[in-house]
Amino acid sequence: MRNRAICAGLEPDELDALGQLGRKQRVAKGQTVLWEGDDSVVVANVIEGVLKVSMSISDGREQIVGLVFASDFIGRPFGQQSPYSVTALTDAELCIFSRSTFDSFARQHPELEHKLLRRTLTELDRAHEWMLLLGKKTATERIATLLLEMSARLGETGCSADNNALDAFELPLDRQQMGDVLGLTIETVSRQLSLLKADGVINLPDRRTVAIQDRARLQDLSAAA
């Protein structure tokens, strides 16, 4: 697991020092670990589980701006406030650091900052891809894209570079959350899934699991670049 985590590539003594600074913590499904607008007091590494990163408007509208999986990083280093909330979608285990402690440790360990930079750049690429989806794609295309993305990201095991996209997987999201990721309502999500099922592109054995039956077709429908 450790090899993809933020600490990967550090010298053993560095890794040890970093380990001293963090503490493991379990969080239950539904629990929020970071609040939008609050002082940015902690950052963390995800050891296990899936979490959502979300932003909202005062009237309650919420957009999920990211999903975080095992070995991913959460929190806003080098910033006074957290621009978003982070909430566990499944039971999860985190390795938590005080933000200020992490910041100064990072500044003294260029290799760590380098890793963090690469991660942040990848995250930015993903955000851009999602902006294209939110700004220009139709409901069908959004659903298809999400299913392929979940298939790919849940297939990453963390060990080496095996990108086995899964053909059947359990969604860590309910319909409302899928809507909040895609900029759609719960009803539109449901309708689109029903259509894909009726067309034989996917199957939905139960409310949380998806089985991709015609990946090529799903890729066409996703309107990839």
Instruction: Identify which of residues 42 and 50 has a Cβ nearer to DNA in the complex.
Output: 50
Minimum separation from the CB atom of position 126 to a second copy (A): 9
What does 124 interact with, of a second copy, DNA, none (CB < 5 to 8 A by kind)? a second copy
Residues 6+ apart with CB under 8 A from 222: 141, 144, 145, 148
- Give which of DNA, a second copy, none residue 208 binds (C-beta under 5 to 8 Å, depending on kind): DNA
Nearest to residue 71, comparing CAs of 90, 93, 41? 93
CA distance to 144, 177, 180, 206, 221, per residue, from 216 (Å): 11, 26, 26, 23, 9
SS3 57: coil
When CB distances are held under 5 to 8 angstroms depending on the partner's kind, the choice from DNA, a second copy, none that residue 166 binds is: none
Per the CB < 8 A criterion, the answer to whether 104 and 157 are in contact is no
Site residues (vs DNA, CB under 7 A): 138-140, 174-176, 183-191, 193-194, 204, 206-208
User: What is the rounded end-to-end Cα distance, in angstroms, of the chain?
Assistant: 32
Binding residues for a second copy, rule: CB under 8 A, are 36-37, 53, 55-59, 61-63, 65-66, 76-79, 83-84, 107, 110, 113-114, 116-118, 120-121, 123-125, 127-132, 134-137, 180, 182-183, 223-225
Question: Do the beta carbons of residue 67 and residue 50 sit within 8 Å?
Answer: yes
Least Å distance between CB 72 and DNA?
23
| CB nearer to a second copy: pick between 19 and 79 | 79
CB of 174 to DNA, least distance (A): 4
CB of 203 to DNA, least distance (A): 11
Q: Which residues contact 164 (CB under 8 A, 6 or more apart)?
A: 155, 157
